[in-house]
Amino acid sequence: MTFTASLEIVDDVAKITLAGELDAATAPALKEEVEKAVKQKVKRLVLFASGLEYMASAGLRVLLFSKQKLGADVDIYVVGAQEFILETLEKTGFDQTVILVDKYDE
């Protein structure tokens, strides 16, 4: 399945909806959207991940890249990720970089 990342910025919050497979080939597309959000100096980044089928090392690394670009005081939410993606995030320590939630309340 192809990967899509669609960005929407409302006030200080950047929301990116992800779908498909996030790997080394598709990670640059997400990175590009994150960079747009960085330029807008957002206060929060919310990634809607329920449509993600797969996330490999390169995909996880975009999360880290986002944190570094946005700064320590900008929270990153990963919303509704599937169980195996959550598991991978936890076991590899990426859960310390982002906030994992089931649902996102505005």
Partner 1 sequence: MERIDIHPTHSHENFKLRLGRPQPFGATIVPGGVNFSIFSSHATSCSLVLFKKHAKAPLAEIPFPDEFRIGNVYCMVVFDLDYENLEYGYRMDGPNNFQQGHWFDPSKILLDPYAKIIGGRDVWGVVPDWEDIYHHRGRIAFDDFDWGNDRALEIPPEDQIIYEMHVRSFTRHESSGIKENHRGTFAGIRDKIPYLKELGINAVELMPVYEFDEFENSRPNPQTGETLYNYWGYSTVGFFSPKAGYAATGKFGMQVDELKTLVKELHKNGIEVILDVVFNHTAEGNERGPTISFRGIDNKTYYMMTPEGYYFNFSGCGNTINCNNPIVRNIVLDCLRYWAAEYHIDGFRFDLASILGRDPWGYPLANPPLLESLAFDPILAKCKLIAEAWDAGGLYQVGSFPAYGRWAEWNGKFRDGIRKFIKGDGTVGQIAQCLQGSPNLYAWAGRAPATSINFITAHDGFTLMDLVSYNHKHNEANGENNNDGSNDNDSWNCGWEGATDDVGINALRRRQIKNAIAILMVSQGVPMLLMGDEVGRTQNGNNNTYCHDNELSWLDWNLQTKNAEILEFVKHCVAFRRSHPVLRNPNHFRNQDYVGSGYADITWHGTKAWNVDWSDGNRAIAFLLCGKHAKQGTVEDNYIYVAMNMHWQTQWFEIPGLPPSLQWHVFANTGAVFASNYLPGTEPVLENQSGILVGDRSVVILVGK
21/52 Cα distance (integer angstroms): 6
Q: How far is the CB of 10 from partner 1 (least distance, A)?
A: 29
Q: How far is the CB of 24 from partner 1 (least distance, A)?
A: 4
35/24 Cα distance (integer angstroms): 17
Helix 27-39 to helix 57-70 angle (10° resolution) is 10
Residue 92 token pair:
């590899």
Among 23, 31, 38, 100, binds partner 1 (CB under 8 A): 23
Is 61 a binding residue for partner 1 by CB under 8 A? The answer is: yes
- Interface residue list for partner 1 (CB under 8 A): 23-25, 56-58, 60-61, 64, 87-88, 90-94, 96-97
